[in-house]
Amino acid sequence: MSVKGLLENDLRTAIRRKGYSYRTEESYAGWYKRFVIFHGKRHPSTMGVAEVEAFLNHLARNRRVAPGTQNQAFSALLFLFKEVLKVALGPIDAMRAKEKKRLPVVLSVDEVRRLLAQVPEGTPRTLVGLLYGCGLRVNEALRLRIKDADFENRLVWVREGKGGKDRSLSMPGRLAAALERQVAGARLLFDQDVESGGARVWVEPSLDRKHGHGLSKSWPWFWVFPAAARSVDPRDGLQKRHHLLEAAVSRWISGAVQRAGIEKKVSAHTLRHSYATHLLMKGIDLRTVQEALGHSSVKTTEVYTHVIHALSGRAGSPLDDL
């Protein structure tokens, strides 16, 4: 194996030790490779601040990437130097990708009702209903474990959401029965896995080791929205039951939007935007909505007040006075 191949292995090992998702692992490894190729396949140990700045400038100036994409590349390189190469980079003075300030697309209450009516019943409608009913990010919904559905207290727990924070949300009363049916269906798959050699799902390795590798095989840690078939986890080569994939949710929503005749660009995140906007329109205070969304800063949540102002047409029009 080449030196660079060994370094990629070291990078992946460091990511796994931190408990980051496989999606993050693939993203960081990809940025590492692009960084090395950009600099003529030099080893990162021979590079530093100047090379990182040059790469980030290239992304902003030549590739014209979105701010989030550039930030992701920056985070990947910071991780590489700090956690793998054990090098502290100095201040980075790079051209920043320009962020276009756009208001999020929001559905009306009637549009949400029409959309949900067109989502196939069962798992699809339950999951999409949670996106709107709890304002979840799509991956937060997909990664829900059985233990996170607290039927006794009517709560849905989000564990280690964006920024590593936990939060609890009110379980929509209209979804409680559907969610119980979903859990019952998941139990059937869990029992099938046990009978065919043992149920196993992904759990952060150090946490699973701490509990004698029992969490990954236990019912409380099983997925609420498990995939129909088991597959091999590329991180350790073990066969596991994964949760449903984001692509499936996107297909459900795009199909429902088309059937409902909604002429807006709608994604899973649109339902989260709609959840926040509708709560504020009902008079829920901004701080409460911030906590429900899991935003670190209330500034992030304030964008929805601008949405409400735009929807209300606050300034009016002088044409109506003629």
* pLDDT higher than 80, residue 222: yes
Among residues 248, 99, 122, 253, which one has the least CA distance to residue 180?
122
Please tell me whether residues 210 and 145 are part of one structural domain: yes
Q: Are 286 and 179 in contact (CB under 8 A)?
A: no
Would you state the torsion angle of the CA atoms of residues 114, 289, 283, 279, taken in this order, to the nearest 10 degrees? 0
Q: Among 68-72, 208-212, 233-237, which is the least confidently predicted range?
A: 233-237
257 class by beta-carbon count within 10 Å (0-12 exposed, 13-18 middle, 19+ buried): buried
In a domain, 104, yes or no: no
CA distances from 274 to 44, 113, 166, 169, 284 (A): 44, 12, 22, 16, 14
Q: Is the pLDDT at 139 greater than 90, yes or no?
A: yes
CATH code for the domain of 48: 1.10.150.130
Residue 255 forms part of a structural domain: yes
Among 67, 84, 101, residue at a domain's last position? 84
Distances (CA, A) of 58 to 36, 39, 53, 96, 313: 13, 11, 8, 10, 41
pLDDT digits over 274-296, tens only? Answer: 999 999 999 999 999 999 999 98
Q: How many domains does the structure of the chain reveal? A: 2
Has residue 121 got a pLDDT over 70? Answer: yes
Q: Does 156 share its domain with 249?
A: yes
Q: How confident is the model at residue 308 (pLDDT cuts 50, 70, 90)?
A: confident
As annotated, the active-site residues are 137, 162, 269, 272, 295, 304
> Do residue 8 and residue 133 come from a single domain?
no
Q: Domain range for residue 50? A: 3-84
Does residue 38 sit within a domain? Answer: yes
* pTM score: 0.82
Least confident of 1-10, 97-106, 115-124: 1-10
The answer to whether residue 2 scores a pLDDT higher than 90 is no
Q: Tokens standing for 65? A: 């990437």
